[in-house]
């Protein structure tokens, strides 16, 4: 309980300087298959967004891979190196899946194990309308997976990654890309880039 409270306070401290009236943060993810841009939604998932940005700013994601790729389902990454070695993480964060956002195509969500409040650095990109991953009830089995952003540039890159052949590798029995899909760098988009990007039309996420 103390560790969970410490984690919440730590993330809130990281996020204290964020201007609620500012444009949503954008994160550029450069991979060996191309570039994607994620728009994050701090108004819907403040702890999750702060946690993700902490990993971005620390360089945690640089050199990690999408280790689980399932076409017409999702792309999961952010936790393993190209040698499929697990990277150390910060303590897990509270699950904000009950924020009204859905696991629809193009959305960004946090991966976790059987315990709802167990997400650390791993995230996934939905390639389909994965309704069963949504929040349905406060019970652990039905709590769901927190959506906290969306791919707003580079959807073609996500689809290219999804089409790669996969198999067994390292500790994983399946779904690992035969040719590693590497996140070369993840960076917060600059104010100048954000200003230019803001002129491009974007479809909003559906809310319940």
Domains contained in the chain, CATH given: 2-16+25-190 (2.40.100.10)
User: Using CA atoms, how far apart are residues 30 and 161, in angstroms rounded to an integer?
Assistant: 13
What pLDDT shows up at residue 203?
A: 55
Q: What is the DSSP letter of 12?
A: H
Neighbours of 166 (CB within 10 A): 19
What pLDDT shows up at residue 18?
A: 47
3-state secondary structure of 59: coil
What pLDDT shows up at residue 34?
A: 98
What pLDDT shows up at residue 104?
A: 98
Q: Is residue 75 within 8 Å of residue 67, measured between CB atoms?
A: no
pLDDT along the chain (208 residues), means of 10: 48 48 87 98 98 98 98 98 97 98 98 97 98 96 97 98 97 97 96 66 50
What pLDDT shows up at residue 197?
A: 64
Q: Which two tokens stand for residue 202?
A: 């974007």
Report the predicted TM-score, pTM, of the whole model to 2 decimal places: 0.86
């Amino acid at each position: 309980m103390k560790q969970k409270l410490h984690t919440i306070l730590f993330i809130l401290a990281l996020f204290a300087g964020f201007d609620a009236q500012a444009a949503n943060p954008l994160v550029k993810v450069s991979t060996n298959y191309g570039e994607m841009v994620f728009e994050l939604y701090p108004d819907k998932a403040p702890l999750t967004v702060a946690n993700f940005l902490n990993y971005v700013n620390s360089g945690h994601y640089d050199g990690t891979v999408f280790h689980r790729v399932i076409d017409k389902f999702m792309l999961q990454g952010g936790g393993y190196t190209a040698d499929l070695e697990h990277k150390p993480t910060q303590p897990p964060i509270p699950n904000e899946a009950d924020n009204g956002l859905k696991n629809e195509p193009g959305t960004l969500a946090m991966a976790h194990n059987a315990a709802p409040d167990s997400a650390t650095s791993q995230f996934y990109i939905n390639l389909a309308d994965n309704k069963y991953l949504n929040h349905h009830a406060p019970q652990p089995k039905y709590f769901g997976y927190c959506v906290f952003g969306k791919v707003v540039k580079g959807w073609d890159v996500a689809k290219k990654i999804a089409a790669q052949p996969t198999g067994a590798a390292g500790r994983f029995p399946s779904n690992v890309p035969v040719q590693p899909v590497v996140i070369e760098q993840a960076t917060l988009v600059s104010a100048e880039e954000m200003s230019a990007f803001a002129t491009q039309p974007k479809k909003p996420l559906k809310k319940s």
